[in-house]
Structure 1
Amino acid sequence: MRAMYYEAFGAAPEVRTLPDPTPTAGGVVVKVEATGLCRSDWHGWMGHDPDIRLPHVPGHELAGTVLAAGKAVTRFKVGDRVTVPFVSGCGHCHECRSGNQQVCEEQFQPGFTHWGSFAEYVALDHADQNLVHLPDSVSFVTAASLGCRFATSFRAVCDQAKVKGGEWVAVHGCGGVGLSAIMIAAALSANPIAIDISDEKLAFARKMGAVAAINAREVADVAEAVREITGGGAHASIDALGSPATCFNSIKNLRRRGRHVQVGLMLGEHATPQIPMAQVIGHELEIYGSHGMQAWRYDAMLSMMAAGKLQPDRLIGREIGLEEAVPALMTMDTATDLGISVITRF
């Protein structure tokens, strides 16, 4: 198979021909039809993820068709259209038994714990517990955008922040995660506020449902700007980027008893950010992490898509080939592209 491959963190990946994968007894091999390019892949390539063992094939947002299935797989067969959460559960630990596969104690992550989907084929373990059947109405390109950014945002907004209609929701960072969160919050009849340093991204965020926009470079105090718009602070706030500044502002801009959700990864030198702890205590703020979404929760998201309430295809930026994805991955930390880039040519 052709795949993007690297042997050292931070070194330029190459497109190589590698051995085709084979399924485990409980796993499948998927022919990859589309796979999203995500900032998490950049973090992995930089060496920020301790689970990656070199050499490595990245890629974790994927959709395709089942090419081969292990003898123990019962819910999926060759030819099925599928996607998979980027955090997949083992199916037998305490967290999986409680329905919280997104924090499985022995989690399987294509593109991190195992070789990923920047390839013609990818092997996925624990298929019956983790694969999601794709409706024919959902394209592979759209489905590939769900596996990390959109599904993670869905859980962050709906399940962690528990956003309700009429609430103010501040979203810090208007990349794929942030734009997804804005669209989902708007679909719940909340009032999302987009915060970024790019006027172009903020304009796009308004098209996705943001009722207000703040350019963080043009205001003296982001949290104060949010309080002014909302009349006291956001009910819920999401750091969709993952930086010391956005994490701090997301907590600082909350009203009393507000909820902060950290979605953007805080790795490397950013792993221990400063937070306004006196405000957390005095205002009884709630702080949550959000890490992927369980396969069984996809039904709710897909139902909202079928009803036209969510349109993740509007977040797709460009379709690229495997060779084009190499420089795109290497420059993700400075990229200014609007929308999600998806690899569709292998």
Structure 2
Amino acid sequence: MLKTMMAAYLPGDARVVLKEVAVPMPGINQVLIRMKSSGICGSDVHYIYHQHRASDAASGKPLYQGVINGHEPCGQVVALGPGCRHFKEGDRVLVYHISGCGFCQNCRRGFPISCTGSDKAAYGWQRDGGHADYLLAEEKDLIRLPDALRYEDGAFISCGVATAYEGIVRAKVSGSDTVLVVGLGPVGMMAMMLARGRGAKRVIGVDLLPERLALASQLAVMDVGYLATTPDLVQVIVEHTKGGADVALDCSGNPQGRLLALQASADWGRVVYIGETGKVEFSVSADLMHHQRRIIGSWVSSLFHMEKCAHDLTDWKLYPHQAISHRFTLEQAGEAYALMASGQCGKVVINFPE
């Protein structure tokens, strides 16, 4: 095995820096993963690539701490540290991208994303992530990748797909539901795919960019798509659905997108806010209470649901890699991030040689 590897860092100012660093060695209960595919997430672009905006409310320290970037890793186990019992060399795995303390209430619920322990660390944010030839991970953070799925699928599941899946599960999408998805970036496209997998009778998409509507249409999971600039769009959707969507998911994080999701949902509709950042303003009585609507906030996923998502996709024969529009090598990471930041794309991944 090589002693050094290439790794990508995000110093801010819309730059990517490649460095040669030592290949890590696994310690107790740790595994070394040879990276095969590593996704680029919108949160990296918003919070790290442009500028290091996010900080910890309690300590004031920046959340991104100058580590190897990439929190959507998928690869193959090549070495095990002492104490590992559940995985073996050669296993194909994806990595839940938050390593929690394991003992707080949220970790006990299976949600390390909401860990309140002091040693919580996100891959690619507080500890080294997947934009390198090798990744050092805790064995407890691994999920086995089903044989029917590609490494690209696993990378996408490790954050974006599982985030959409959690929203679909919390909304209890079923065959009785018309589902509206606002914001057709990678997470929005996956929300449509997963809604179809759960049996939704009708799936409607909305986005500002015609290019994203076109890409979403190619997935063959959307019944109709609308540009966000369509006049009287709320009324158009309400008329098309004969009363509004049973479930509306906002994946845009945009104030107008969130409001559209709420106002275009039916009486007793379930509205899930998935998209990060931003605000929303609405009339509590007219938009929420008088229609008996329910707003659900959903952040990433649980370990259990991430694993179940991988198996459900296999059973449904639905493959997230179909939403990948661009693939890059690690040496092209700068181009990959610039494209993702432009928004003129679907999912973007960095792939590694076999």
What TM-score do the two structures reach when normalised by structure 1? 0.89
- 1:237-256 mapped onto 2 (5 Å cutoff): 237-256=248-267
Seen in structure 2, the aligned counterparts of structure 1 residues 47 and 225 have a Cα distance that, compared at 3 Å, is farther
Q: CA deviation at 1:176?
A: 0.7
RMSD of Structure 2 on Structure 1 (CA): 2.1
Flag the 1:322–1:242 CA change in 2: closer, same or farther, 3 A.
same
1:174 has 2:174 as partner: no
2:58 maps to: none
> Which of the residues 24, 44, 47 maps onto 2:52?
47
Could you list the per-position Cα deviations for residues 284-325 of structure 1 after superposition, in whole angstroms to 9, with x for gaps in the alignment? Answer: 322222222222224432333332442223222222112322
Q: Does 1:15 align with 2:26?
A: no
Distance 2:87 2:102 in 1: 16
Is 2:110–2:303's contact at 8 Å kept on the other side of the alignment?
no
Q: How does 1:93-132 map to 2 (within 5 A)?
A: 93-106=104-117, 107-125=120-138, 127-128=139-140, 130-132=141-143
Asked if structure 2 preserves the Cα contact closer than 8 Å seen for 1:49 and 1:112, the reply is: no
Query: Please, which of 200, 223, 238 is the counterpart of residue 211 of structure 1?
Result: 223
Q: Please, which of 186, 192, 203 is the counterpart of residue 196 of structure 2?
A: 186
Instruction: Tell me what 1:273 maps to.
Output: 280
CA distance in structure 1 between the partners assigned to 2:228 and 2:31 by the alignment: 45
Give the aligned partner of residue 235 of structure 2.
Answer: 224
Q: Percent identity?
A: 29
**1:344 paired residue number:** 351
Counterpart of 1:4 in structure 2: which amino acid? A
Deviations 1:122-171 (A, max 9, x none): 2223x22x21112333221221121111111111112x111111311110
Report Cα offsets for 1:70-110 as digits up to 9, x if no partner.
32322123332110122343322112223334423234321
Residues 332, 277 of structure 1: CA spacing in aligned structure 2 closer, same or farther, 3 A cutoff?
Answer: farther
Change (3 A) 1:91 1:232: same
Matching residue of 2:291: 283
- On the 8 A contact 2:250/2:261 being kept in 1, the answer is yes
Q: Distance in 2 between matches of 1:88 and 1:286?
A: 31
Superposed, 1:51-90 pairs within 5 Å as 52-90=63-101
Contact in 2 for aligned 1:171/1:178 (Cα 8 Å): yes
Give the conservation status (yes or no) of the 8 Å contact 1:44–1:112.
no
Residues 157 and 310 in structure 2, CA contact (< 8 A), matched pair in contact too: no
**Aligned partners of 1:87 and 1:54: how far apart in 2?**
15
Change (3 A) 1:221 1:19: farther
- Per the TM alignment, residue 11 of structure 1 is displaced from its structure 2 partner at its CA by 4.7
Report the Cα distance in structure 1 between the residues aligned to 2:79 and 2:283, rounded to whole angstroms.
51
Worse-matched range after superposition: 197-206 or 36-45: 197-206
The letter for the 2-side match of 1:282 is H
> Is residue 172–residue 195 contact of structure 1 (8 Å, CA) maintained in 2?
yes
Cα distance in structure 2, aligned partners of 1:319 and 1:333: 15
CA, structure 1 residues 31+255, in 2 after alignment: closer, same or farther (shift >3 Å)?
Answer: same
Supply the AA of the counterpart residue of 2:351.
Answer: T
Instruction: Work out whether residues 166 and 298 of structure 2, in 8 Å CA contact, stay in contact via their aligned partners in 1.
Output: yes
Q: 1:248 to 1:157 in 2, by over 3 A?
A: same
SS in 1 for 2:256: helix
Give me the whole-angstrom Cα distance separating, in 2, the residues matched to 1:177 and 1:323.
26
Going from structure 1 to structure 2, the CA distance change for 1:303 and 1:11 (only over 3 Å counts) comes to closer
Match of 2:172 in 1: 162
**Consecutive unaligned residues in structure 2, runs of 5 or more:** 56-61
Aligned length: 336
Alpha-carbon distance change, 108 to 223 in structure 1, aligned in 2, over 3 angstroms: farther
Q: Measure, in 1, the Cα distance between the counterparts of 2:110 and 2:64.
A: 28
Distance 2:110 2:29 in 1: 19
Can you give the 5+ residue segments of structure 1 that lack an aligned partner in the other structure?
none
Checking the alignment, whether the CA contact within 8 Å between 1:2 and 1:119 is kept in structure 2 is yes
Task: Give the C-alpha shift of residue 256 in structure 1.
Answer: 1.8
Cα deviation code 1:34-73 (max 9, x no counterpart):
1012211212323233253442321111111123333232
Letter matched to residue 25 of structure 2: T
Query: Is residue 321 of structure 1 aligned with residue 329 of structure 2?
Result: yes
Q: CA deviation at 1:281?
A: 2.6
Distance in structure 1 (CA, Å) of the matches to 2:350 and 2:128: 16
User: SS at 2:121's partner residue?
Assistant: coil
